[in-house]
Amino acid sequence: MKKYLPFVQPILIFIGVIYILLLGYSLSKDMTGIFYPLLVVPFAGMIAYLYLYHTNVIFHLLVFSLPFSLTLRDIGLGVGLSIPSELLTAILGLLILTKIFYEYKDLQKLLWHPLSIAIYAHILWLVITTITSSMPIVSFKFVLVRVVYVLVYYLYSGYLFQKMKYVKSFIWLYTLGISIVIGIVFVKHWTLGLGQDTSNKISYPFYDDHTIYAACVVMMMPLVIALFYLQKKKDVLINFFAFVLFLVLVVGLLHSYSRAGWISIVGISVGWLMFRLKITFWQVMLLVGVLVGIGFYNSKSITDKLSKNDRDSGGSLVEHAQSASNISTDASNTERINRWLCAIRMGVDRPVLGYGPGTYMFNYGTFQKRDEMTIISVRDGSWGGSHSEYLKPFSESGYLGIITFLFFIFYGIKIGMDLLYKLEDKGLKTLLVAAILSFVSYLIHGFVNFFLDTDKSSYLFWAMLAIIAVLDIQYKQQKEIEKEEPKAE
């Protein structure tokens, strides 16, 4: 190889000169059809090099770029694209497929882990309901994206997370990326007075609105805390930097004015307390069942009490938080109820197969009732979402859609909680707690929003499940090794 090196440099220089000449010529002649593709060449060349020789760098680029990737609404055929995150995701999707074929043994345990199989069952039902969809092309695109997300964000991340250094690099890079966004957003918000009235779209163009922005910020909080316990040797400088990043996240959440974000902090605090008390998964399920039963029994009195709350969103932080339970005059809350009722009616109308994955926004309009619509309702019902991560699969894929979805998310939590009380390593236990709490914070958001279609939040959702699955696999492997070791005489 070394004997060819003297020829490489002049060849590269020649190619570079030709490239610059072509770029300049196309620009001078206003040949945009040639100019813009030429601009992509260096980036494509770099990605090709990384794909062949440094694939892990692409993963790091993806994680770091996710928070500030920009979305192109329509690049043709009604398809949007997030730059550069979705391009990097597509590349890693091809990579994980090759690894499944050529490095099957390294992925075998993750591929056939019970949690993975539960996820596949949900995907399979989405594929079936795509065939019967009211809009097959829309559903096909939706399911294709979901499959790619599972391949890259769950399987490829899990493949790398078998080494702890990649878990830590993911936490650092995503946190650093979103901290940069928080800084930019805070400065923009500062110039507008830091008020609630300007907070809804202040995170644009990085995040579509303040709800998904806050959801991602909250999900990273437990993970940043875990960094303090994942160091083999305590480093004061690293701990200080992690503490600063945590404070940045707190500032970002506080000024997001996202009520769901604030509520999720309460939720994960309760979750942490349960872990401290060593409450099991089934005890949690029993508690949830009792609370739901009490809620149904007292639904009329609860509704009456909530209806008397006329505190609208806005004003001080306290007043804004109080408006979260206003279901009578707050437009944001009442519109959510309108969307939920539409989703329920859609599911009841087609309980077996639903209307097809990704089709809620195109079909819910006919299920609206005039007395339930609000000042922000879309009259023809041709825009917007279900505002629920749980009712969306019910309306689009019927009962099995929501059952398979709920099964794999609760199964993931069960695996994590069962493992939590078995682990002895403090660092791994803290990481597992952080992953579960981060995942739970997303599920809390899921009651009033839906973000799984967005790469920025979807990555965190699947990555948390990947961490849980990998830690479970490694624990079982360690136990198998201990069993096989000959007993000391």
CA–CA gap between residue 132 and residue 128 (Å, rounded): 7
**Residue 370 clears pLDDT 90, i.e. is over it:** no
- Per-residue model confidence (pLDDT) at position 321: 47
Q: Is 70 helix (H, G, I), strand (E, B) or coil?
A: strand
Q: Strand 70-72 and strand 81-83: pairing?
A: antiparallel
CA distances from 474 to 367, 438, 482 (A): 48, 21, 12
- Per-residue model confidence (pLDDT) at position 4: 46
Mean pLDDT of 136-147: 94
DSSP H helices, 257-330, are 259-276, 281-297, 299-307, 317-322
- Per-residue model confidence (pLDDT) at position 99: 87
Residues of the chain with pLDDT > 90, as a percent, come to 48
- Per-residue model confidence (pLDDT) at position 295: 75
CA–CA gap between residue 236 and residue 331 (Å, rounded): 48
- Per-residue model confidence (pLDDT) at position 223: 96
pLDDT-wise least confident of 37-41, 171-175, 395-399, 462-466:
37-41
| Token duo for residue 258 | 């996202």
Q: Which residues, in sequence order, are CB contacts of 423 under 8 Å at separation 6+?
A: 429, 432, 471, 475
For residue 316, the number of C-alpha atoms closer than 13 Å in the C-beta half-sphere is 2
CA–CA gap between residue 360 and residue 5 (Å, rounded): 58
Mean pLDDT of 375-384: 70
Reported as a pLDDT band with limits 50, 70 and 90, residue 15 is low
Helix %, strand %, coil % for the chain, to 5? 75, 0, 25
| Token duo for residue 59 | 């993963």
Q: Are 185 and 177 in contact, with CB atoms under 8 Å apart?
A: no
**Residue 301 clears pLDDT 70, i.e. is over it:** no
Task: Considering only residues 229 and 41, tell me which one the structure prediction assigns the higher pLDDT.
Answer: 229
The pLDDT tens digits of the residues spanning 415-464 come to 999 999 999 888 999 999 999 999 999 999 998 888 898 899 999 999 99
Q: Are 401 and 393 in contact, with CB atoms under 8 Å apart?
A: yes
Reported as a pLDDT band with limits 50, 70 and 90, residue 82 is confident
- Per-residue model confidence (pLDDT) at position 329: 58
Peptide bond into 84 cis (omega under 30): yes
Residue type for 117, please? I
Query: Which residue in this structure is represented by tokens 């020829």?
Result: 7
pLDDT-wise least confident of 17-21, 69-73, 84-88, 207-211:
17-21
Is residue 83 within a helix (H) or strand (E), and if so which, with residue range? strand 81-83
Picking from 275, 174, 271, 273, the residue whose alpha carbon sits closest to that of residue 227 is: 174
Query: Which residue in this structure is represented by tokens 């593709």?
Result: 37
- Per-residue model confidence (pLDDT) at position 383: 66
The secondary structure of 424-479 as a DSSP string is: --HHHHHHHHHHHHHHHHHHHHTTT---TTSHHHHHHHHHHHHHHHHHHHHHHHHH
407 exposed, middle or buried (CB, 10 Å; 0-12, 13-18, 19+)?
middle
Mean pLDDT of 308-336: 58
pLDDT-wise least confident of 162-176, 187-201, 322-336, 347-361:
322-336
The pLDDT tens digits of the residues spanning 268-282 come to 999 999 999 999 999
- Per-residue model confidence (pLDDT) at position 48: 67
Mean pLDDT of 375-387: 74
| Residue-wise burial string across 136-155, b where 16 or more C-beta atoms lie within 10 A, e elsewhere | eebbbbbbebbebbbbbbbb
Q: Are 217 and 253 in contact, with CB atoms under 8 Å apart?
A: yes
CA–CA gap between residue 212 and residue 304 (Å, rounded): 30
Mean pLDDT of 369-394: 81
CA distances from 130 to 136, 340, 456 (A): 6, 22, 25
> In whole numbers, what is the pLDDT of the chain averaged over residues?
83
Cross-strand pairs, 71: 82
Handedness of CA 17, 22, 28, 34 (dihedral sign): negative
**Residue 395 clears pLDDT 60, i.e. is over it:** yes
| Token duo for residue 220 | 């990273």
**Residue 474 clears pLDDT 50, i.e. is over it:** yes
- Per-residue model confidence (pLDDT) at position 2: 46
Residue type for 287, please? L
Q: Are 430 and 224 in contact, with CB atoms under 8 Å apart?
A: no
Reported as a pLDDT band with limits 50, 70 and 90, residue 35 is low
Mean pLDDT of 308-312: 53
CA distances from 314 to 196, 201, 263, 297, 306 (A): 6, 14, 16, 32, 18
Peptide bond into 205 cis (omega under 30): yes
Task: Considering only residues 217 and 187, tell me which one the structure prediction assigns the higher pLDDT.
Answer: 217
- Per-residue model confidence (pLDDT) at position 80: 65
Model's pTM, two decimal places? Answer: 0.86
**Residue 314 clears pLDDT 80, i.e. is over it:** no
| Neighbouring C-beta atoms of residue 470, cutoff 10 Å | 23
